[in-house]
Structure 1
Amino acid sequence: MTQTLNTIDKAAMAVSGFLMVLGIAVLGIVEILAGEPYGAAAVEQTNEAGEVVNTIYPAVDPTIRTGLVILGLVILLLWGIYKVTSPIPGEEQARTTEVPSD
């Protein structure tokens, strides 16, 4: 049994893959190139008296990165549900058999 990919299959894989690579790899490289902080929270710099003198924020908001990856996974989930519920072409002919008569 061979399955071919139709337009919906190719589009779902391309869009979901693009969103996940963008959210994980591309924006991760942007974070590395931008320098510290690497975490999700802002880093506060204080002086010797304990006063906050500067706050450094991440280059890309972690909510945006997480949202892109989750959106890619949701698209894959919807595509999987579509593939499970859609009939396989030619399956109806494979299940019909002739019953020999006496």
Structure 2
Amino acid sequence: MTQLDIVEKVAMAFSAGTILVGIVGLGIVEILAGQPYGAAPVTNDAGEVVATPAVDPAVRTGLVILGLVVLFGLGLYRMVGTGTVGTDVRREATAD
């Protein structure tokens, strides 16, 4: 098992925070704001917009994508930094 350095801890915290804010936090804001819950504006029969979402869906999507991009970057950082991917280090120990 390897120890995480400060860059990895910051990247994981930032990506988890942006994904959670984008999905859970802004989802709660949408629920508290009331109807409509969908991403598209609600129109009447004449085609006039009568209701829009409280938070722009592009903002929510952007936060989630940003978190995923940071996680991808963290994966690349770990691959370049260690030089190995998914290898187990086994050490022999002598029995008493």
TM-score by length of 1: 0.75
In structure 1, the partner of 2:9 is 10
In structure 2, the partner of 1:39 is 38
Deviation at 1:87, TM superposition (A): 2.5
Greater Rg, structure 1 or structure 2?
1
Q: List gaps (5 residues or longer) in structure 1.
A: 89-93, 95-102
Superposed CA deviations along residues 49-77 of structure 1, whole A, max 9, x for unmatched, are x4356510000000000000000000000
Task: Say which SS state the counterpart of residue 28 (structure 2) adopts.
Answer: helix
Distance 1:25 1:87 in 2: 34
In structure 2, the partner of 1:77 is 72
Distance 2:41 2:24 in 1: 21
Two-structure CA RMSD over aligned residues (Å): 1.8
After superposition, residues 1-102 of structure 1 pair within 5 angstroms as 2-45=1-44, 50-51=45-46, 55-87=50-82
Distance 2:65 2:4 in 1: 24
Distance 2:46 2:71 in 1: 48
Distance 2:9 2:40 in 1: 37
Task: Say which SS state the counterpart of residue 86 (structure 1) adopts.
Answer: helix
Cα separation, partners in 2 of 1:51 and 1:61, compared to 1, 3 Å:
same
Distance 2:15 2:47 in 1: 41
Work out whether residues 22 and 61 of structure 2, in 8 Å CA contact, stay in contact via their aligned partners in 1: yes
In the comparison of the two structures, how many residue pairs are matched?
84
